[in-house]
Structure 1
């Protein structure tokens, strides 16, 4: 399936995916800033996700993908660093305010570890915000934001087509190269594995301090990305060359949906005045 219609659909979905991934980190960065804490998100989740982004970056370079894809991979890695910086900064800030600042052997401030998360602080600081805004209202608000982002992606595709309307384009030649394939599968495994520590942490924190929108945009970004690959062609060679990216995107969606189920469950339990474990 290589008709022009499929190529156009693939392009639209690809631009939509890019739009989602550009903003995916923003809701959690804002959530951390408002709570002055990054303890709602598992630091292992961020580390493993960052490792996946780095593997994706090197895979894109080795595969000779478009410069825009490589630039996006660098952008994702930068956002991972920003998220980690927030987490450690707020840990250091809390440690410096609540007690004597203990320095380690290298002279760095000692901060709480992932094994002893500041769950109570996250829950208490976000309690007023959660009770005044239901999960359904959040869903509607962020659903509207998602529609805007997807629309922006579609418009970006249209503008790109208009700007390059007189320039002939040849589809990139796909090469099944083992180094990029290995990195692609490593990246897929890391993206999947990153969700596990976050899901486990949610059992403790009841999703306090975690951005609902992070997973909304992640689901949308992964779904449109996988569909863009399939819309381009269903040729076995094309599917094989993109198998790792399809697996990483498609399977991650199911884990992100589970996180959304956790959100809905704990918010509903809170509304009923009970907070039993999932």
Structure 2
């Protein structure tokens, strides 16, 4: 997400880059941008699919928002191209939408949970009430009749549960052999890994590659050298943004460890994030590989590498905690 400050850092040096390296760098940068543009969509879908966001750390989302605020500030301060500023504003809009959905679902879930608890308590209180009160000996219910009533109620409850399971099973079986967008979104576990993850990533890579060739500046970068005074502010915003992105995963990793679950998180969200940061780092390194240039962009490179490392920790948590859930379900 800090790729829009990349031009500010690069333009502080005079350089000549071969057309091939410039084109490859442009393709990597476009793929990273395409990933960031659609990054939040899988997470929003997952939040509405499970309708339970208590497994998501609000500090994770807030850190991303603060990083994007610094991103927008740096883009405006540096006077970057309008499309770069619009992209930074899109990131900020996506953060606001995500935070809004998070708090909406959090309040909705807590209200529904409270209603469910109240209903259970009311049912338990009703069961404790005497079935017959102040009745004469002739009007008392015989134990055999009482037992028959309880047995019939249990049989009806069991039959209703079996009917619901049968309906869910048939619906899941239909979705398993369906490829509609609604089925893929609502029942992603019924589809192959390629449909869930490979196909979206392939689409983003293709879109980013095509976008690179369609971009008017896709084959090269500006070599204009701004004054040092004008680049200090954007550089500071870049460091703040990189720090917030780098540390944003830590609260979520801790939250996952405490809950022993990754419920509410989208694996595709983190896959796109890893691909974006990987392509962003390649964009820098492919364009130039001399030490002076790398040192100038070291903050962005370290930020990308650090974020990928933290994403790998979350991948491990997905593997461990989902495996524990599957083993529990089997038992």
Q: TM-score per shorter chain, which class?
A: 0.7 to 0.9
Q: CA deviation at 1:92?
A: 2.4
Task: Look up the SS of the partner of 2:215 in the other structure.
Answer: helix
> In 2, are the aligned partners of 1:45 and 1:197 still within 8 Å (CA)?
yes
In the alignment, which residue of structure 2 is the partner of 1:217?
272
In the alignment, which residue of structure 1 is the partner of 2:222?
171
> In 1, are the aligned partners of 2:51 and 2:105 still within 8 Å (CA)?
yes
User: Which structure 1 residue ranges, 5 or more long, are not aligned?
Assistant: 101-127
User: Which structure 2 residue ranges, 5 or more long, are not aligned?
Assistant: 1-15, 116-171, 173-184
- Which of 23, 30, 43 is residue 38 of structure 2 equivalent to? 23
- Which of 158, 162, 165 is residue 213 of structure 2 equivalent to? 158
Q: Deviations over 1:28-76 (max 9, x none)?
A: 1001111223323211000011111111221222233332222111111
Matching of residue 257 in structure 1 with residue 272 in structure 2: no
Task: Look up the SS of the partner of 1:65 in the other structure.
Answer: coil
Q: CA deviation at 1:139?
A: 6.7
> In 2, are the aligned partners of 1:181 and 1:244 still within 8 Å (CA)?
no
Matches within 5 A, 1:130-169: 133=189, 137-138=192-193, 141-160=196-215
Q: CA deviation at 1:144?
A: 2.5
> In 2, are the aligned partners of 1:188 and 1:248 still within 8 Å (CA)?
yes
Q: Deviations over 1:89-136 (max 9, x none)?
A: 112223444559xxxxxxxxxxxxxxxxxxxxxxxxxxx9999828x9
Matching of residue 41 in structure 1 with residue 95 in structure 2: no
Larger radius of gyration: 2
When normalised by structure 2's length, the TM-score is: 0.66
- Which of 250, 257, 265 is residue 196 of structure 1 equivalent to? 250
Q: CA deviation at 1:174?
A: 5.1
> In 1, are the aligned partners of 2:55 and 2:261 still within 8 Å (CA)?
no
When normalised by structure 1's length, the TM-score is: 0.78
In the alignment, which residue of structure 1 is the partner of 2:108?
93
Name which structure has the greater RCO, CA cutoff 8 Å, separation 6+: 2
Segments of 4+ moved more than 6 angstroms: 128-132
Report the CA distance shift for 1:77/1:170 in structure 2 as closer, same or farther (over 3 A): closer
Q: CA deviation at 1:156?
A: 1.3
Report the CA distance shift for 1:142/1:170 in structure 2 as closer, same or farther (over 3 A): closer
In the alignment, which residue of structure 2 is the partner of 1:83?
98
Report the CA distance shift for 1:200/1:245 in structure 2 as closer, same or farther (over 3 A): same
> In 2, are the aligned partners of 1:38 and 1:86 still within 8 Å (CA)?
no
- Which of 253, 261, 272 is residue 206 of structure 1 equivalent to? 261
Task: Look up the SS of the partner of 1:88 in the other structure.
Answer: helix
RMSD: 2.9
Q: Deviations over 1:220-263 (max 9, x none)?
A: 01110111111111244433432222221121111011101110
Structure (1 or 2) with the greater helix fraction: 2
Matching of residue 73 in structure 1 with residue 88 in structure 2: yes
